[in-house]
Structure 1
């Protein structure tokens, strides 16, 4: 999960910064809505995203990003991956798999310790909540998130090669679990997969995540304390 630091949700006030009152109000509205939707899904016995979920998710992602930026101890990014040093030569898909396996051993989603040289500079990064381009922006987003992870774990369950039409890709299936260093200490637990599309030079041009929960449910985990999650499970 990597929220874009430049997302502009339509439900939030315009401008580069939110006031504390506006941020608090936006987070509170998202919290109330998500709790109601979670209760309705339990009553119905069916997991479905509400029709208005996309705008709510965009609002929640924007509010969370602003909140994390305000609380982040790292006021300066540790580095710009846009000018990444050349990595080991990539002679084939097997080389990409080997690099990714090392990155997963370092839990790169949760530590920010990834190998930028295997990504094209304008690589597309997307998950069920956001979509943006830029290796350097991805690095900056990880820098923003990493200080808030508490007791994180990332387990690589499977990694395989594949191809479609003229595109080769690598697909990794993983399980992520971490608490967040927020006052109510929410627990984020997601199982998902990431597909890495490669160009002719075996650089990753698309990093696409899918999850076993809806975007609404994933965002909803952030607004519920871990004890309440365990109570409702």
Structure 2
């Protein structure tokens, strides 16, 4: 999705800042990303991941639930990979002005085909989806991408700002209170049924829309 939107942005000749591919903010600023409502069970995590697609349609809107992700989650799609929740959030937010212009309400949708825990991996939730949009550009392209996203998760502290190494070693033998832990996504891996070049080719291909 990020790659598709970036190409659209270049096509429209809209100049925007490049988003850094490394996590450089201080722990205190990263902590402010949190809304204070983490997922504490696998069932809750599955439900909220499903809401990302069904309710928020984040593939188009960029509206993500930051409490679901580890601060140093690794994000990967067919065209790029980077580390850091803040980078992911900022990347999505920077694309929104372009996307709102070329894919307004009523011209786009996200369909969630399936969402649940992976049969072979107890620590992975798999979502299968379809992203469709009739873009408001002179050549009237249509985006229609089917994909799958694998959300690998682990249990970590609710307050996940990293401790100093010596402090972590000192606490190594202590048991953590479950009320102080939650489940967060540490790896986000997005794949498409189309190749990256096929998906990007949709952006420059005129589409014969039916009359509304």
Q: Same fold (TM over 0.5)?
A: yes
The equivalent residue for 1:10 is none
Measure how far apart 1:203 and its partner are: 0.7
SS at match of 2:137: coil
Give the conservation status (yes or no) of the 8 Å contact 2:6–2:95. no
Counterparts of 1:133 and 1:188 in 2: how far apart (Å)? 27
Aligned length: 167
The equivalent residue for 2:113 is 157
Counterparts of 1:176 and 1:133 in 2: how far apart (Å)? 24
Give the conservation status (yes or no) of the 8 Å contact 1:68–1:145. no
SS at match of 2:67: helix
CA distance change for structure 1 residues 63 and 157 in 2, over 3 Å: closer, same or farther? closer
Higher relative contact order (CA 8 A, sep 6+): 2
After superposition, residues 1-233 of structure 1 pair within 5 angstroms as 1-3=1-3, 64=7, 67=10, 70-71=13-14, 82=30, 83-104=32-53, 105-147=55-97, 148=99, 149-150=103-104, 151-162=107-118, 168-201=123-156, 202-227=183-208
Counterparts of 1:62 and 1:110 in 2: how far apart (Å)? 9
The equivalent residue for 2:176 is none
Greater helix share, structure number: 1
Give the conservation status (yes or no) of the 8 Å contact 1:177–1:189. yes
Q: Can you give the 5+ residue segments of structure 2 that lack an aligned partner in the other structure?
A: 20-24, 157-182
Q: Can you give the 5+ residue segments of structure 1 that lack an aligned partner in the other structure?
A: 4-60
Q: What RMSD in Å do the two structures reach over aligned CA positions?
A: 3.1
